[in-house]
A and B are shown apart, each in its own frame.
Chain A
Amino acid sequence: MYHKPSAALNTGSPPRACYFQASAGDCTGCGKLDATVPTGKIKNLLVANRGEIALRIIRTAKVEGIRTIAVYSEADAGAAHVAAADEAVLIGPPEPAQSYLKGSAIIAAAHANGADAIHPGYGFLSENEEFARATLESGLIFVGPPPRVMAALGDKISARRLAAQAGVPIVPGIEASDLQSARMFAQRVQYPILIKASAGGGGRGMRVVVRLEDLEDSLESASREARAAFGDGRLFIEKYLARPRHIEVQILGDGSGEIVALGERECSIQRRHQKLIEESPSPAVGHELRARMCEAAIRLATRSGYRNAGTVEFLLDGDDFYFLEVNARLQVEHPVTELRFGCDLVAEQLRIAAGERLVEPKRPRGWAIECRLTAEEPEHGFRPATGKVLYLQLPSGPGVRVDSALEQGTVVTSYYDSLIAKVVSYGATREEARRRMIAALDDVSILGVGHSTAFVRAIVASAPFAHGELSTRFIEENSPSSSWAHEHENAALIAAALATGDSKEFSFQSTDSGSHDPARNSSRSSPWSKLGNFRLWNTR
């Protein structure tokens, strides 16, 4: 269900008159279109990102007839997003600080290649106010909120204040990070407390503190991590809710004061504050609660003068919800909303950036679930995995969408985020979407890089997940395991035994006929080195 600022909630009645008005001036309740923001038809779009989201944005641009310019680091020379774009510009060495975070190089690449707009994707520079400002000042369109809105909402401390002013409930907390204030706050609200980075995102710079002894270390390491990740070590502290659900509302604003809410997503399945599984709608949100949450999100967005796509995140504790933060950008989990609403949020973003007014969203239907597959090894404490993809199979089929930039031959490095694929399923009901997800995940096969697919598959197949009993502590409280995993391990053990050559019938053979693997031509002393590191095993 989508929501508008007032009236017509959930009723299916026509939108307010001003909703479709072409001129903002016709509606007294709406603000004027922000004259400082360059708009206009986008014909050439630079995508300032990499991986699946760069591919995703390029795809929509193609559909819209927009020429695309990719940027890439030396580590991504052969990457899928580079191949997909109409042009590709090398912007620097692998380290993000010298490439995907280097705003000046990206803006220069945009001008040199005739771009009229920059889409930042998520992560990297997407919520960097200075980058957005520099983009606009150089005369380009920035596909995202205006810098001043980004500044007000991207900073978690100022967003908290804004939410409070908009009458949106907030978690009890303090805007201080010195040991003394933290100690007093913890004494008042009782442990556990949660330290958060004001510039934070994705769990970085975030620490749960359960006892006084850990407080000083946690403050120090959170600040250090925040400085490293965001260049801003400012922290704030909140009461830690024991078993909340994470519910967020997708909003779109066109800058005229009109805001729509495209329902909620539940993202409670998280590990160390990194979302693993998201769905829309939420099994915990009924009609009335949805209306309240969407209205709160719209109030906050309206107050901040929001423009373009954004997400207002809440923690849900029983029937009470609290403002968490605003993500002033496209979210990783946006596809679940797209499947339910039959829309393309990137296309909406481009239209809004070009100065067009919002159109009424379609009615939401069915249920969508997304699983994030990461290059992490759950059986080894979620250690980040790196390596070259030697074999790759990704699922497809009715009600299945896969957003991924992974290809056979892709080298997963430690320079960037560990997300390698998003598998999204859709069904008429939650149970249908869930079963489609299990079937889809069973079709995933990746050799060469450790990954988390079996882990998320076990969660989706578990009884508590099937019953919709979710909380942000789900992974701590449930350790889904199955005979399924045991059978797979047995099959893998047999394969490993065969592959090591105990059996005369089997040997490793290279399926890689290329000569780019230096190991192939080096030492020939052992049977393994003769074939290099990249050998698939086959029967003779």
Chain B
Amino acid sequence: MKLRRLGQTLPREVEIISHQGSVISARIDDQTIRAILERTADGSFMIRIGSHRVRINAVRSKGSILVAAGPASFEFKAVEAAESRPRIGLASPRVEAPMPGRVLKILVVEGAEVGAGDGLLVLEAMKMETTLYAEGAGMIAKVLVVQGQMVDHGDTLIELSPLRDSSNAESPPRGR
């Protein structure tokens, strides 16, 4: 299966080849890795890879998998087969709220054309301002929120459509 870590663009390919007792053989990208799995009293697992041993807890939530590996925290999303195929136009026509917060300022109007790096909207969360930028070119098809509105993580804020004469937009906007 392909998993993409939140915030990273390249998915990692991971496959459990065999799992016998506590011994796991996994292929990660092109590398085969042997791991030892042990259970702890509090329900966590220790995973040993080589001389490296780390406490693991995991949960699936809202379509992603959260993993605590020692002090490192991961959020993975399974990459659908279709998503890894090259496509034309915008990868995602929707700009979603990367966190819950308040819409402080809308920087674009419907019908406007935007280029990569253009600011779209300013969100306020935890008392900090976060601007969402366009990562590719497109046209603002719809603005679905108004200034001052509270939004939740994952709410669609703006819908983009590809520019008529261009198909070079690649990835969805993200917070910077």
Question: Taking beta carbons and an 8 Å cutoff, which residues of A are in contact with B?
Answer: 202, 204, 221, 224-225, 228-229, 272, 377, 379-381, 383-387, 390-391, 393, 413-414, 416-418, 441-451, 453-454, 457, 485, 487-500, 502-503, 505, 508, 511, 528, 533-539
Contact sample, A vs B, 6 pairs, CB 8 Å cutoff = A489-B5, A496-B58, A496-B65, A497-B26, A499-B58, A538-B43
Q: Which B positions have Cβ atoms within 8 angstroms of A? A: 1, 3, 5-8, 12, 14-16, 19, 24, 26, 28, 33, 35, 39, 43-45, 47, 49-50, 52, 54-62, 65-76, 78, 98-101, 104-105, 122, 124-130, 153, 174-176
Asked if B175 and A498 sit within 8 Å, CB to CB, the answer is: no
Contact (A383, B45) CB under 8 Å given A442-B71, A488-B69: no
Q: Which residues of chain B come closer than 8 Å to A498, judged between CB atoms?
A: 16, 19, 24
Contact A537 B58 (CB under 8 A): yes
The answer for the CA separation of A249 and B96 in the assembled complex, in Å, is 44
> A454: which of B26, B73, B101, B126 is its contact (CB, 8 Å)?
B73
CA distance A416 to B66 in the complex (A): 23
Chain A residues whose C-beta falls within 8 Å of the C-beta of B105 in the assembled complex:
224
Contact check, A445 vs B99: say whether CB atoms are below 8 A apart.
no
CB within 8 Å for A494 and B126 given contacts A393-B55, A447-B68, A454-B73: no
Closest to A533 in B: B61
Contact A494 B71 (CB under 8 A): no
**Of A229, A445, A502, A536, which one neighbours B71 at CB under 8 angstroms?**
A445
Q: Tell me, in angstroms, the Cα distance from A117 to B162 when the chains sit together.
A: 61
Decide: A494 near B65, CB < 8 A? Known: A377-B7, A453-B71: no
Name B174's closest neighbour in chain A (CB-CB).
A381
**Minimum distance in angstroms from A261 CB to a CB of chain B:** 31
With A384-B128, A488-B54 already in contact, the answer to whether A444 and B1 are too (CB < 8 A) is: no
CA distance A272 to B65 in the complex (A): 29
CB contact under 8 A between A487 and B126, given known A384-B99, A446-B73, A492-B67: no
Do the beta carbons of B71 and A454 come within 8 Å of each other? yes
Assuming the contacts A390-B57, A488-B72, A536-B57, asked whether A381 and B67 have C-beta atoms less than 8 A apart, the reply is no
Nearest CB in chain A: distance from B53 CB, A: 9
Q: Which A residue sits closest to B25, measured CB to CB?
A: A494
* Cα–Cα, bound, A489→B71 (Å): 11
Of B1, B6, B12, B62, which one neighbours A379 at CB under 8 angstroms? B6
Q: Do residues B129 and A497 form an inter-chain contact, with CB atoms below 8 A?
A: no
A503 and B19 form a contact (CB under 8 A): yes
Contact of B44 among A204, A391, A414, A453 (CB under 8 A): A391
Chain A residues positioned under 8 Å from B14 (CB to CB): 493-494, 496-497
Given contact pairs A383-B175, A492-B69, A447 touches B59 in the complex (Cβ within 8 A):
yes
- B49 near A491 with CB under 8 A, answer yes
Complex contacts, A538 vs chain B, CB 8 Å: 39, 43
Interchain CB contact under 8 A, A536 and B43: yes
Give the complex CA separation of A62 and B166 in angstroms. 67
In the assembled complex, the Cα of A322 lies from the Cα of B136 at a distance in Å of: 43
Residues of B close to A508: CB separation below 8 A: 59-60
Assess the B126–A416 pair: CB atoms within 8 A.
yes
When the two chains form their complex, are residues A491 and B54 in contact, meaning their CB atoms are under 8 A apart? yes
Are A494 and B59 within 8 A (Cβ)?
A: no
Select one of A453, A511, A533 contacting B72, CB under 8 A: A453
CB distance from A249 to the nearest CB of B (A): 27
A489 and B128 contacting across the interface, CB-CB below 8 Å: no
Question: How distant is the Cα of A413 from the Cα of B1 in the complex, in angstroms?
Answer: 32
Nearest CB in chain A: distance from B76 CB, A: 5
User: By the criterion CB–CB under 8 Å, are B15 and A380 in contact?
Assistant: no
Most chain B CB atoms below 10 A, which of A221, A384, A387, A496: A496
B57 touches A386 (CB 8 A): no
